[in-house]
Amino acid sequence: AAGVIQSPRHLIKEKRETATLKCYPIPRHDTVYWYQQGPGQDPQFLISFYEKMQSDKGSIPDRFSAQQFSDYHSELNMSSLELGDSALYFCASSLEGGNEQFFGPGTRLTVL
């Protein structure tokens, strides 16, 4: 069965650079969620989209922005990267109101 696809899987950036993370949800899933997991921490919700509209927002820095496109894939744009942005970034998808969120394998971002 198709799963959530995230790209790239690994990304290394310098401080103050920008990064774009991509997420391709499971076919027919209309809701996408982004989570950030710092080293040794639990995943933290950043933002979610339903039918291309932002549906909820968590502790996402102003330097980050995200959107969901007409094909339902989503991109997380991160600017002015800081060392503290080094983390695993997970994308999850679900059907509207679905009980189960399906998580992708994550993108490991390292900021040097």
Residues of this chain that interact with another protein (CB under 8 A) are 4, 30-31, 33, 35, 42-45, 48, 50-51, 55-56, 58, 88, 90, 92, 94, 96-106
* Residue 96 Cβ vs another protein, minimum distance, rounded to whole Å: 5
Q: Which residues pair with 92 in a beta bridge?
A: 33, 103
* Residue 37 Cβ vs another protein, minimum distance, rounded to whole Å: 8
* 22 C-beta neighbours (distance < 10 Å), count: 16
Place of tokens 């639990």: 42
Inter-residue contact 89 to 7 (CB < 8 Å): no
In the complex with another protein, the residue whose CB is nearer, 61 or 79, is: 61
CA-closest candidate to residue 74, choices 96, 49, 37: 49
In the complex with another protein, the residue whose CB is nearer, 18 or 41, is: 41
In the complex with another protein, the residue whose CB is nearer, 45 or 67, is: 45
